[in-house]
Amino acid sequence: AIQLTQSPSSLSASVGDSVTITCRASQDITTSLAWYQQTPGKPPKVLIYDASIVNGGVPSRFSGSGSGTDFTLTISGLQPEDFATYYCQQFHTYPSITFGQGTRLDIK
């Protein structure tokens, strides 16, 4: 099974900062990767799919890149509502999918 490893597991940042979260796959998944944002008490929400395509309604400060085994999610100019937990998910083996372990983004 394909494993996804996110780093860091947690990070602290301030409003206005830019942050980058990394997701590494255990084998080549081309661009079959999505990023989700989850706030407490709510289900995850799709931010990015196909590694770099921003989902409709998602602010342009969110961007994704990568292919193969290494991927990044960048948030440029953090807003208060961005402090949440972020997950990557591979769908190279759709409908069998796997998630990264998550990255918690806290306010510094």
Q: Per CB under 8 A, does 1 bind another protein?
A: yes
Per-position b or e across 33-72, b if 16+ CB within 10 A of its CB: bbbbbeeeeeebeebbbebbebeeebeeebbbebeebebb
User: Among residues 16 and 40, whose Cβ is nearest to another protein?
Assistant: 40
The smaller minimum CB distance to another protein, of residues 61 and 102, is found at 102
Nearer to another protein, 17 or 85 (CB): 85
For residue 80, which phi and psi values (nearest 5 degrees)? -55, -35
Residues 6+ apart with CB under 8 A from 43: none
Closest distance of CB 43 from another protein, Å? 4
Read off the tokens for 29: 């998944």
Q: Which of residues 87-106 bind another protein (CB under 8 A)?
A: 87, 89, 91, 94-102
Sites of contact with another protein (CB under 8 A) = 1, 32, 34, 36, 42-44, 46, 49, 55, 87, 89, 91, 94-102
